[in-house]
Amino acid sequence: MSTDEIRSSGTAHVVKGMVCKGYIDGLRYVHGPVRFRYNALWPEGRTAYFKKLESLPSAKAKEIYQAGFVAKRLIVDWNQTYCSASDQAGEPLPITAEAFSALDDMVQGRMVRIMFRQSESDLDPEDPVEDQLKTMMDSDRTAEEALAELDAEDAESVGNSSGA
C-alpha cells in the first residue's frame, strides 16, 4: 500500500476503513525504529473503547483489555521481532495482546497515542522526501523546531552532542 493511500492528504478528515502509518524513532540502547500500520479509529469506536476501559475494575484488567483491543482491532502490521534473548530471535513477532504487552512501556504508550490520534508519528527516514514533507506540513512543529530537531539528531549521530 502506498503512503498516499494511508495518509489523509494534508487534511484532518479520516475515512472509515482508512489504514494509517505510524513510525517511532529508535531510542539508543532501548529500542530500534518502530514501523506499523493501523486501522484509523472512528469516533464511536474510540468512545466505546473508553467507556469499556472505565468500567473495568482494576489497572490489570484495563491493561489486558487495552492490549487485546490494540492487537485485534488496530494494528495491521509492524516491524517488531523477537529480541536477542529469545529462542526465536529476529523472527517476526506476531500481533497479539501478549506480544503488545511485552513491548517496552514507552513504545506501547506512544503507539497507543499515535493510533488514538493524540500524538503524531515521527518522520520516517525511509519514506520518500515528498511524504516526509507532507508529514511535516501536517505536524504542529514550526520549521525552526524541525530544523533544531534535525540538528540535534545529526550532532548525536556523529558524537558531537553538547556535554560529550
26 pLDDT band (50/70/90 cuts)?
Answer: very high
64 or 13, which is more confident: 64
Question: What is the structure's pLDDT at 8?
Answer: 41
Question: Which amino acid is present at 149?
Answer: E
CB 120 within 8 A of CB 138: yes
Question: What is the structure's pLDDT at 7?
Answer: 47
Rg (CA), the chain: 17
Closest to 80 (Cα-Cα) out of 34, 127, 46, 135: 34
pTM: 0.73
Q: Which residues are within 8 A (CB) of 30 and not within 5 positions of it... i.e. 6 or more apart? A: 104, 106
Question: What is the structure's pLDDT at 137?
Answer: 66
pLDDT in tens, 46-89: 899 999 999 999 999 999 999 999 999 999 999 999 998 889 99
Domains of the chain by residue range: 3-157
